C-alpha cells in the first residue's frame, strides 16, 4: 500500500512538473525574443504566442514601431539641421572671402573690426 502511494505520488509530481514546464515554455520563448530584440538581432517580437499573450506582444510591437518612427524622424531632422549649418557656414565663409577681395571703401576699413 505504501509502495503504491509512493508510485502515485511520483506520477503526480511528474505530471505537475511536465504541465508546469509546458505552461511556462511560451514565457521562455518571449524572454528569448526580448534578449534578441535587446541585442539587435530582431526588430519585433514574434506574434505567434498563446492567445493570453497576444495583446501584450501586439502592444509592445506597436510601441517598438512608434519608437522606430520617432528615431527615424529625429535622424532626418538632425541631418537637415547639419546640412543647414554647413550651408550657412559655407555661405558666410564665401561672403568673408569676397569682402577681403574688395578694395577698402572711403571713410572706414572693414579689416579694423
pLDDT at site 112: 53
How far apart are alpha carbons 5 and 95 in whole angstroms? 97
Please report, to the nearest 10 degrees, the dihedral formed by the alpha carbons of residues 98, 102, 106, 112 taken in order. 60
User: What distance lies between CA 79 and its chain's CA centroid?
Assistant: 19
Between the two ends of the chain, the Cα-to-Cα distance in Å is: 108
pLDDT at site 108: 55
pLDDT at site 37: 92
Q: Is the pLDDT of residue 1 over 90?
A: no
pLDDT digits (tens, 9 = 90+) for 56-92: 999 999 999 999 999 999 999 999 999 999 999 998 8
Closest CA to 46 of 68, 61, 59: 61
Its pTM surpasses 0.85: no
Amino acid at each position: 500500500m505504501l509502495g503504491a502511494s509512493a508510485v502515485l505520488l511520483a506520477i503526480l509530481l511528474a505530471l505537475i512538473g511536465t504541465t508546469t514546464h509546458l505552461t511556462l515554455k511560451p514565457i521562455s520563448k518571449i524572454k528569448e525574443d526580448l534578449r534578441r530584440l535587446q541585442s539587435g538581432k530582431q526588430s519585433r517580437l514574434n506574434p505567434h504566442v498563446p492567445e493570453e499573450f497576444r495583446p501584450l506582444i501586439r502592444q509592445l510591437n506597436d510601441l517598438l514601431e512608434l519608437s522606430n518612427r520617432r528615431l527615424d524622424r529625429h535622424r532626418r531632422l538632425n541631418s537637415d539641421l547639419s546640412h543647414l549649418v554647413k550651408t550657412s557656414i559655407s555661405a558666410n565663409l564665401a561672403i568673408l572671402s569676397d569682402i577681403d577681395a574688395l578694395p577698402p571703401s572711403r571713410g572706414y576699413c572693414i579689416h579694423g573690426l
